């Protein structure tokens, strides 16, 4: 780290730790560290405890791969959900957006990633095998691909559609009301509800 002043070790360690956040370089990590220490030491302690607890207590649901405190999450255990529909999303944030649209009563599978060949993220890194197994449980009749409408999300949907169809599954994709290049997380609930209703076979 380029700095004229010698800084205490715990401060350097904190700055280094904050850099594990996406998009955070040395400069913003320093700003965060100064802010926490100077303006909000209580918040800093809460943050540390919450991080510790979340990392220790959370696991991936065995069925949908989202975060859960139980081996099977409450959504997957809910008997009122339609087990014949399986909606595939990239992240838990996307799952929340689809829930918020109130247009879907089926179950989910959360990829926790997407194919990104340019960044070296291939099918082995995203663990598609678990999804194939989940979709082939005999109850799923339709798999709805709700990956983002970005280049990576489209590539992922294309690849998954092939694999799922090869297993005899009916595959649909969200309708094109969602603007090209956009991430579901930033699309309004009404548009998502419409895109679900108007979904097309792939």
| CB closer to Zn ion, 36 vs 111 | 111
First to last CA, the chain: 51
In this structure, are residues 168 and 143 in contact, taking their beta carbons and an 8 Å threshold? no
Least CB distance from residue 129 to Zn ion, whole Å? 17
Q: Binding residue for Zn ion (CB under 5 A) from 73, 86, 131, 184?
A: 73
Residue 153's closest CA among 124, 190, 188, 178?
178
Least CB distance from residue 57 to Zn ion, whole Å? 16
Q: What are phi and psi of 161, to 5 degrees?
A: -60, -45
Could you say whether residue 61 binds Zn ion (CB under 5 A)? yes
- CA gap 21, 32 in Å, rounded: 11
Stretch that binds Zn ion, among 32-40, 70-78, 146-154, 155-163 (CB under 5 A): 70-78
Q: Is 155 helix (H, G, I), strand (E, B) or coil?
A: helix
Could you say whether residue 64 binds Zn ion (CB under 5 A)? yes
Least CB distance from residue 160 to Zn ion, whole Å? 18
Could you say whether residue 174 binds Zn ion (CB under 5 A)? no
Residue 192's closest CA among 97, 96, 107?
97
Least CB distance from residue 113 to Zn ion, whole Å? 17
Q: Binding residue for Zn ion (CB under 5 A) from 14, 15, 29, 76?
A: 76
Residue 129: alpha-carbon gap to chain centroid: 17
Least CB distance from residue 188 to Zn ion, whole Å? 26
Question: Which residues are near Zn ion by CB under 5 A?
Answer: 61, 63-64, 73, 76
């Amino acid at each position: 780290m380029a700095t004229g002043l010698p800084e205490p070790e715990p401060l350097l360690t904190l700055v280094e730790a904050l850099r594990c956040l996406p998009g955070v370089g040395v400069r913003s990590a320093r700003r965060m560290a100064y802010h926490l220490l100077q303006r909000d030491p209580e918040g800093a302690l809460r943050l540390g405890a919450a991080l510790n607890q979340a990392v220790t207590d959370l696991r991936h649901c065995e069925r949908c791969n989202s975060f859960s405190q139980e081996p099977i999450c409450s959504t997957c255990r809910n008997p009122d959900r339609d087990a014949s529909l399986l909606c595939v999303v990239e992240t838990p944030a996307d799952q929340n957006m689809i829930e918020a649209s109130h247009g879907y009563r089926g179950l989910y599978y959360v990829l926790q990633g997407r194919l990104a060949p340019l960044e070296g993220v291939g099918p082995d890194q995203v663990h598609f095998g678990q999804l194939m197994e989940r979709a082939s449980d005999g109850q799923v009749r339709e798999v709805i691909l709700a990956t983002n409408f970005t280049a990576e999300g489209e590539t992922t949907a294309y690849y998954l559609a092939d694999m799922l169809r090869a297993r005899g599954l009916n595959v649909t994709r969200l309708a094109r009301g969602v603007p090209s290049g956009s991430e579901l997380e930033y699309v309004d609930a009404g548009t998502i509800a419409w895109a679900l209703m108007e979904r097309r076979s792939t």
